[in-house]
Amino acid sequence: GFKGTETKRAQRDWKKNKTILSGEIQGDNNPVNNSYHVVFVPETADRTTVIDGFVITGGYAVDKPEFSGGGGLQNQGTPVIANCVFENNQARVGGGLFTWSRPSITNCVFTKNYAVEDGGGMAIHLDSPNVVDCTFSYNRASGFGGGLSYYGSKNILLKNATFINNQSLSKEGGALFMAHSKGAVVNSTFFSNSAKMGGGGIATFKSSPRIVNCTLFKNRSERKDLGHDLCTTGSSEGGGRTEVFNSILWGDEGGRIRFYTDAIPSVSYSIIMEGFPGGASVLKANPRLKNPADNGGATLTCALGEGSAALDAGGTHLAPKVDQRGMPRPAGKGIDLGAYEEQKPVYKSDAEPKKMPEFSAGPSGESKPVQKPPQKPLPGSGKPPVLRPVKPAKPGGKPALPSVKKPPGVKPPVAKPPGIKK
């Protein structure tokens, strides 16, 4: 992250000066003989272990069961993982990252990773690390959870995350899949994700998450009857169920939510394109969402267009105090639906208050305006540059890996490896 001329750690620019950790140890562009895990974190690692500012790429944890989780990084401890990019990694479970412990994961990007089974970008088993300010884009899984999958996680916190163009190739949960899990998905954006079966955006199985102030826009399931944005299946454990609050589910056609058995979600203070029977304060009016852009904050968001039905339409009892960008809620008369809170415009006077003109006496005693030379503009007073969002790159070709059928219920966790493979 350093250029070499810095004198303080705060001067580091990890995005511009990349530090790359690669599993491509042979240099032959053949992933089969790459490192199983580019980074391995043992159980003894605690919060004093910090993995910060790396590009982690080229891991291939596919062939052997004892090394089958986390091509980019496999974690068994509780480290801090921040400001990292997980790119072009492959694994049987958790293409970019696999964990069964509780690390802190902040401001990371998971892009173009692949899982033979579940969790193309990341897979989390049996624990609940906080995942904050992260982006998941163009990840794929042959099984469940193209972007991210949870199994047996009882205290999920997924906050300020953006999922774009992730895909489940044969199952459910194009962006996100949760099984036997509880917790909260807050202030997050799901855009243009897809699944072969249900829940192009989110799919849950025997889970009871709260989905609060989230935007699900233009997600797609190949089977409309299984829900483009959200699919809930299986009776929820502990009497709980999926709750949708202050959120937007919208796209090019209806069929945004579908549920099966007794996994009926609770929906309130939300916009659902086709409505939702039994929901409280559920609207069908157009939220006028814009495509994801850099509107401030760590992740891309979908702004609300003029005349949006989402403005001031939210409830208060579960709403976070800030939106996905960290901007305050509410900013108007009420809380806006979705992950983006429209802020009040700040008006500034385009000129100082007008003053009475100065006059001087002419040769005949008449009054004449005093002529003053024009003033030069102050340095830096020109118009600021227009910032435009950077679009994610399109994914590469599909890896030629076998498809794995998933048995019903929760799959057993990946066996812990005896140690890091050299």
**CA–CA gap between residue 295 and residue 274 (Å, rounded):** 28
> Tell me: the pLDDT tens digits for 249-275?
999 998 899 988 778 899 999 999 999
Q: Please check whether residue 195 lies inside any domain of the structure.
A: yes
pLDDT at 367: 42
Question: How crowded is residue 324: how many other Cβ atoms within 10 Å of its Cβ?
Answer: 30
Check whether 22 has a pLDDT greater than 70. yes
Position 290 in a domain? no
Residue 346's pLDDT band (cuts 50, 70, 90): low
Asked if residue 352 belongs to a domain, the reply is no
Within a domain: 329: no
Does any domain span residue 304?
no
How many structural domains is the chain composed of?
Answer: 1
- CA 172 to chain CA centroid, nearest Å: 18
Q: Counting beta carbons within 10 angstroms of the beta carbon of residue 237, is it exposed (0 to 12), middle (13 to 18) or buried (19 or more)?
A: middle
Q: Determine if residue 126 is left, alpha or beta; phi over 0 gives left, psi from -120 to 50 gives alpha, anything else beta.
A: left
Q: In the prediction, which pLDDT does 5 show?
A: 79
The pLDDT, as a whole number, for residue 373 is: 40
Measured CA to CA in angstroms, residue 387 lies from 33, 167, 293, 298, 367 at distances of: 42, 29, 10, 15, 50
User: Which of 43, 53, 94 is closest to 73 using CA atoms?
Assistant: 94
If pLDDT is split at 50, 70 and 90, which confidence band does 375 have? very low
**Cis peptide bond prior to 330, omega within 30° of 0:** yes
**Beta strands 194-195; 162-164: pairing state:** unpaired
- DSSP bridge partners of 22: 57
Residue 422 lies in a domain: no
What is the b/e burial string over 366-391, where b = at least 16 CB atoms within 10 angstroms of the residue's CB? eeeeeeeeeeeeeeeeeeeeeeeeee
What pLDDT, in 10s, does the model give residues 283-313?
Answer: 999 999 999 999 999 999 999 999 999 999 9
Residue 344 predicted with pLDDT over 70: yes
In a domain? residue 341: no
Q: What pTM value is reported for the model?
A: 0.81
The token duo for 130 is 């906080």
Mean pLDDT computed over 212-223: 97
The pLDDT tens digits of the residues spanning 154-211 come to 999 999 999 999 999 999 999 999 999 999 999 999 999 999 999 999 999 999 999 9
Distances (CA, A) of 189 to 136, 165, 177, 242, 264: 10, 12, 15, 17, 22
Tell me the pLDDT band of 388, cut-offs 50, 70 and 90: very low
Q: Identify whether 164 is part of a domain.
A: yes
Residue ranges making up the domain that contains 253: 14-283
Distance, in Å, from the CA atom of 220 to the CA atom of 174, rounded to the nearest integer, reads 8
Q: What is the pLDDT of residue 361?
A: 42
Q: pLDDT tens, 98-109?
A: 999 999 999 999
